[in-house]
A and B are shown apart, each in its own frame.
Chain A
């Protein structure tokens, strides 16, 4: 029996903007329905409409039935009784989901007392139980803590505890792990599975991450431009997609177990809800488009096996057994000439030697005194050869951004050495520094924030040219825009007229303006949608090969890194844990942290996800103001837990440094007991053998 049944749900915002245009789905007890879509596809608005949380000016029509009771048009008082009791919601941002002035325990107890007639102390006891259930250590003590004393992952767990406080029948999770690091994401997803087992609730899981859906969902609904375009059981949909959009989406994601070679991008951008194309909304981007596609919007029709597809050519796709790689044109990326020379013979473009950056921790308003030191970067060394991409990966707070700032500032570091293109940053004069800036440029993470909203695109790209006194600025701007795949006539428009992917291309054009030899990429694709991301990754790869650039690539997404990088350095708490070529580090990780990191990344492959063995880490990243003695990872290390007392002594007393592994040319790990194992494809069956 289904708990929730949504029929013909539409949501229209003032100005005739149809955010949701006819959504149908149902969720049964114990079932997980995944809703996938890019930003603006209407997936979040759908769930807010179900909860009745949309602003008053939104017009909602259709039907939402919970246990056969109509929710739309229900009086506010009755809706309040349903919310949090029968349906609960888990939001994306765990930071803003709690009131900062009450303790976590009080807030969970409040949720219990609103819907159940229990005493104060009983509700408080229940809150502690719930915190224990979601895996918060020392729940009795932690219940008295305030939200700011919890880390992001713990807050999201507390959020889950609050959501299941009243044994709801339905949980709506709106991007529950998007704001979290991968190892924390793995923990939280595990907690969600536990919560579902405990309550037997149905879950609606909304996310853009196809890997998370593959591991969690039973059925999947793909949304595009406010409408479902494909729906079906998870395996069917992942292995035999029947709608070109789903096919493209699945082909465009980089995978950590993936092959090399260009990704398959979906051209163009999702349509604006204010100006939908006639006929199928995906037609303008679809490589399989025929004239009939423009005639009318194809309805979601059943094709058997519980599957629904909205495409007039779905039968043909099924018949020919087409996949995303067959349908979408695979771009050709010219080969790199530089890499033919062995790495040792190429010049080094960037060298970091024992770089240290500590920040003082001050206290006191009038008389400031130093109470400690934040060890943001604590002695890291690496080098980048010409034409090479080194990726710096790690979770938030590991010091990658500080490292990058230290390099970009070109100032003498606190300690250690930074050598850019053979020039030591500590010995640069003012003029040399400015000249060197032309050879070292940066592409930022957030394409919204990286471009000045008050300047037209042409001026933005021309800014570095003018600052360095170059001639023929207009001609060069047109060249640069063409180089990154934009029309030169865009120079007169302002950044807000462009989509995220286009804006990121403008940022790249600006970085390339002075013909740098080296680019620093600060999470260049993490703010973009999957289908757009692939295009930007391909562009970066192409530019590197044709212009002979070297990249320092900072990222937390290990799948993208595998695709773009030649070498990878894994950072943990201000130090490098493991460094080596991508093949070595990904296929034979030796440091327990790298192993955990790699095994935490969800794969967009339902079968593998089900059988995969995860290495789950305990707890959160320790504070960089007070790192553990000896090996910094030992407090969370699964290997440390298995060591004998004598072996552990070494981890506690002696800080490991990066040591080259015995049988590898370019692979080193900072672990006393390093041991290469395979983790990405490791499954339970293999363990038994």
Chain B
């Protein structure tokens, strides 16, 4: 019943439709595109350096003869994976920590919220920037964990305050008087009733994570060469002279980044309107 109403509202919203179509197209482009493209992202074409877009290299080539189309799609894949993973982990962490703090209260609450406050005052960008070169040998998954670690605190505070009101609800009291243990009440009664908040938050976190990843990679702290992401590609193409003389190096990855973040944000806004019609901001 409710899910049907939400779905109808979601589809009726024009912006959400554009967002959904946008994300879908970008996903297809990122994962189907490489099969259609004539070059692989690791191929180097020594016959063509800095070629503008043409029939052979659709989006042109780089300084080292790499194919911009293949590189950009590879970067898009990476950014998408990182974005979704970070959003999933940070929202999950926020939900568990916030709900535990709110439900159990007392010293559990105090310790968890102390941790949250500590993480909030740490300059996350700086810490990731310092730590990431040391992880050079490790996988990019460590980078995902780092990004997630610094992105969940605000949501967990919101979850905690909502849990505080939920735990006084009669169905939670009823469960407690039945003798159901606390963690099971959190998983069965508290979190499902916060699902609309969590879904919205996860969606908006995706775009936040993508932006975070690209900006770190832009400064050389995130994804490390030879691997590419949208951030490293933009960095490569954004030297003061390159932007003007070889715009294709910069325009394609930057354009895809804008399209991706915009689409995800449109979906997030649409979801919020559909799940929570009261807030029309």
Contacts and interface: CB of A to CB of B under 8 A. Distances in A.
B179 A454 contact: no
Contact of B2 (A437, A450, A496, A514): A496
B179 A438 contact: yes
Contacts of B195: 454
Contact of B177 (A437, A451, A452, A453): A437
A1 to B, nearest CB: 46
Given A441-B177, A463-B180, A467-B179, A454 B192 contact: yes
Contacts of B12: none
B126 interface: no
B171 A449 contact: yes
Interface string B158-195: 00000000000111011101111000100011001101
Contact of A450 (B174, B178, B188, B192): B174
Nearest to A408: B177
Given A449-B169, A494-B1, A510 B174 contact: yes
Interface in A456-505: 463-464, 467-468, 494, 496-497
Interface residues of B, number: 18
Nearest to A493: B1
A494 B3 CA distance: 12
A434 B170 contact: no
A467 B189 CA distance: 14
Contacts of B178: 437, 441, 463-464, 467-468, 514
B162 to A, nearest CB: 14
Given A452-B189, A452-B193, A454-B193, A446 B179 contact: no
From B2, B169, B174, B195, name the one whose CB has the most chain A CB atoms within 10 angstroms: B174
Contacts of B188: 452, 455, 463
A358 interface: no
A65 interface: no
A593 interface: no
Interface residues of A, number: 28
B182 to A, nearest CB: 12
Contact of B170 (A444, A455, A467): A444
B204 to A, nearest CB: 22
B179 A450 contact: no
From B177, B180, B184, B192, name the one whose CB has the most chain A CB atoms within 10 angstroms: B177
Contact of A452 (B1, B171, B179): B171
B173 A444 contact: yes
B103 to A, nearest CB: 15
A449 B170 contact: yes
A440 to B, nearest CB: 8
Contact of B175 (A463, A494, A514): A463
Nearest to B171: A452
A437 B179 contact: yes
Nearest to B193: A454
Contacts of B179: 433-434, 437-438, 464, 467-468
A283 interface: no
A442 interface: yes
16 contacts: A408-B177, A434-B179, A438-B179, A441-B178, A444-B173, A452-B188, A454-B193, A454-B195, A455-B192, A463-B188, A464-B179, A467-B184, A468-B178, A494-B1, A497-B1, A510-B174
Given A463-B180, A464-B178, 13 more contacts: A408-B173, A434-B179, A441-B177, A444-B170, A444-B173, A450-B171, A454-B192, A454-B195, A455-B188, A463-B178, A467-B179, A496-B1, A496-B2
Interface of B: 1-2, 169-171, 173-175, 177-180, 184, 188-189, 192-193, 195
Closest 3 pairs between A and B when the two form their complex, measured CB to CB: A437-B179, A450-B170, A444-B170
